[in-house]
Structure 1
Amino acid sequence: MSFPVRAITLDLDDTIWPIAPVMLRAEAILDQWLRTHAPRTAALYPIEAVRALRDRIAGERPDLAHDYTTQRRLTLQHMLRESGDDLALAEPAFDAFFAARCEVEHYADSEAALARLAAKVPLAALSNGNADLKRIGLMPLFRFQLGAREHGRAKPDASIFHAACARLEQEPAQVLHVGDDIELDVVGGRLAGLRTCWINREARAWPAHHPRPDLEFSTLTALADWLERAPYDRTPRTDTAAA
């Protein structure tokens, strides 16, 4: 089987960079900022308590499931209000957190592989997270970035995939969605009519109850190799099959 790839949509967190160390560092920087500027809030809300409050607010506001930025702002406002600190500190506190959230360390293969992919087809970022590619420095490689907050719905909702395809001026069947998350990226992309590529960096087993993705690779470099090796006859394969 072969299929055309006229454009690629890419997930960001845990596809281009690992997200866990980014969030741990951002939380630590926020905690230090609060200790300096809102010490009562910092004392009342250590990092674990901030996480618990954010989870609680997310649970209470399912209408904001697609909007991590607003969830975080509401969390900060609640913390400052309860501690008696100035509510005006919520925005600079968020700015400190968000600046750190955008200080990512890419997987070793990511930047070179993205440049190779972008040389072949248009790329679009498609993420449920709120990372800013302009701050991160990768925006020149992408046609656009479409986030769940901007769109109003998050993956795996088909509408966000279709919105990206429309902006790329391509039919879904001609767009390859690339991501690490089985449900959000692979299953969601497939149900929306896109071709899918699973980036499986940790050698996870594919769940038997789901149809397999069109492609599976352990790195973005392997995807770039595939795209360059078979620009017309792009036969789906895995790393093992490609070896």
Structure 2
Amino acid sequence: MLDLTIIKAITLDLDDTLWPVWPAIERAEAALDEWLGRHAPMTAAMFANPTARHDIREQIVRTRPELKHNLSAIRREAIRLALYRSKENPLLAEDAFEVFFAARHEVTLYDDALLALGFLSARYPVVALTNGNADIQRIGLGKYFRAAISAQQFGVGKPDPRIFHAAAGAVDVPAHNVLHVGDDATLDVLGALNVGMQTAWVNRSDHLWAHDASPHETVTNLTELCDLLKAGEAHI
């Protein structure tokens, strides 16, 4: 059970917590493929082969370990390498990546997301905490967040304790006074529990919990979480 009396801030995952990520990624991939088809057809043909696309990405990850948590840089360098291998202009990588990145931010929020963000941000400082490369300003959600911490900017990702402490520190709140909200059992819940945060697991797809340690609350959507917090307010 949540102890509402000690919550002074909320850290909030983005992908698959506020919106489904894979539809956005698939649209971005399609936009990139269409752009490459017009500007770099040999590279487009290479990327049309899933094995070749995977091999290029794996080469970047293997040869550029410093980019491990920087999804944007990995994507950009994979495009650049594909252009080079296809004997097309590697300088096109920047424009090609921007096509992908713009489409990646055309997310469709879950129906409960906006009202929940309004409710939470009116009561607590909210920090975006993501291993992905979504930009809350670019999506248009910046007004709901006091700060944003991403793995690609910070250099490590969830469940590393350092990124959770960084998110708490961004609003000058000790970790034990933070409620972390996210969909991933390992990255979000176990990672946050490990630093002493309270946790709310957003389980939209009825997954089974498979770990010894448990979240303080499990909800199927963010509306349920807001209702729990609202009900608790009456007893504080």
TM-score computed with the length of structure 2 as normaliser:
0.94
1:51 CA displacement: 3.9
* Structure 1 residue 231 displacement after superposition: 2.4
Matching residue within 45, 70, 74 for 2:73 = 70
Aligned to 2:169: 166
1:10 to 12, 21, 25: 12
1:25-104 alignment, distance < 5 Å? 25-46=27-48, 48=50, 49-104=52-107
Unaligned runs of 5+ in 2: none
The alignment's C-alpha RMSD in Å is 1.5
Match in the other structure for 2:192: 189
Q: Deviations over 1:217-241 (max 9, x none)?
A: 000111111111112758xxxxxxx
- Give the Å deviation of 1:37: 0.8
1:119 pairs, out of 94, 119, 122, with 122
What SS does the aligned partner of 2:181 have?
strand
- 1:164-221 Cα deviation digits (max 9, x unpaired): 11111111010001000011000001102211110000111101x3211011100011
**Compared CA separation, residues 47 and 110, structure 1 to 2 (3 A):** farther
Determine whether 1:205 maps to 2:175: no
Partner amino acid, structure 2, of 1:15: T
The amino acid across from 1:102 in the alignment is H
Is 2:78 the partner of 1:108?
A: no
Q: Is the 8 A contact 1:187 1:210 kept in 2?
A: no
* 5+ residue gaps, structure 1: 235-243
Measure how far apart 1:60 and its partner are. Answer: 4.4
**1:240 equivalent in structure 2:** none
CA contact (8 A) 2:46 2:53 kept: no
Deviations 1:72-126 (A, max 9, x none): 1110110000001111100000000000011100111111111111111111100
Partner of 1:237: none
* Conserved 8 A contact 1:27-1:97: yes
SS where residue 218 of structure 2 aligns? strand
Aligned partners of 1:31 and 1:47 also within 8 Å: no
- Which of 156, 177, 182 pairs up with 1:179? 182
Distance in 2 between residues matched to 1:20 and 1:125, nearest whole Å: 19
**Partner letter of residue 228 of structure 1?**
K
State the percentage of identical aligned residues.
45
Q: Structure 1 CA distance, aligned partners of 2:182 and 2:173?
A: 19
Residue 75 of structure 1: SS of its match in structure 2?
helix
Aligned pair count reads: 233
CA distance in 1: counterparts of 2:195 and 2:219, whole angstroms: 21
Q: Tell me which stretches of 4 or more aligned residues in structure 1 moved more than 6 Å.
A: none
The answer as to whether partners of 2:17 and 2:202 remain within 8 angstroms in 1 is: yes
Q: Secondary structure at the match of 2:170?
A: helix
Rounded to whole Å, the distance in 1 between the matches of 2:28 and 2:54 is 12
Contact 1:27 1:47 (C-alpha < 8 Å) held by counterparts: no
